[in-house]
Amino acid sequence: MQGEKATPEDLRALEIQLGRPARDVHKVSYRCPCGNPAVIETPPRLSDGTPFPTFYYATCPNLTAAISTLENSDLMEEMNRRLAIDAQLAGEYHAAHDDYIAARSALGIDVPEVAGISAGGMPERVKCLHSLIAHSLSAGPGVNPLGDQALEKLGEWWQNGNCLERRES
């Protein structure tokens, strides 16, 4: 999925969502149904020089709250058990890791500190559903099998209303 350059309105929305100015936004890679950014792309090196491997970053409070609830379940433990015994799933998950790195590398910013590092525990384990779901939303279905499965379990996370109104209240 391509993503789009963040507009000044997007940057204002991100500041409300995050409670602080967003740093070094490369693109909005996924929008929630209310039209606001839900996932952004961040370059692998921030403008202050800090290495930043989290290329896909979930910002929508409705989304992140739903993911946090899911992370408090036994889902990640179950996914890790499946990864250990299902060679096909492990291979697809490794391919998701490769996709993540390739998308970040396409920016053309060489950051040796994060070379070979994706996010969420990929390719060997699941440690952050926020990263996996952000990847699935940005890359589209069929790229990250565990991100897709977690996203499916979220249901209609956007039903909590406009995320900017939620944060401002």
Q: Where are the domains of the chain?
A: 8-158
How far is it, in rounded angstroms, from Cα 102 to Cα 64? 25
Residue-wise pLDDT for 120-154, tens only, equals: 999 999 999 999 999 999 999 999 999 999 999 99
Instruction: Give the number of other CB atoms < 10 A from CB of residue 32.
Output: 18
Residue-wise pLDDT for 68-122, tens only, equals: 999 999 999 999 999 999 999 999 999 999 999 999 999 999 999 999 999 999 9
How far is it, in rounded angstroms, from Cα 137 to Cα 48? 28
pLDDT of residue 166: 60
pTM over 0.85: yes
The answer to whether residue 158 scores a pLDDT higher than 90 is: no
Instruction: Give the number of other CB atoms < 10 A from CB of residue 8.
Output: 7
Per the rule left: phi > 0, alpha: psi between -120 and 50, beta: everything else, 111 is beta
Q: How many CA atoms lie within 13 A of 14 on its CB side?
A: 26
Q: What per-residue string of b and e applies to 93-117 under the rule 16 or more CB within 10 Å gives b?
A: beebbebbbebbeebeeebeebeeb
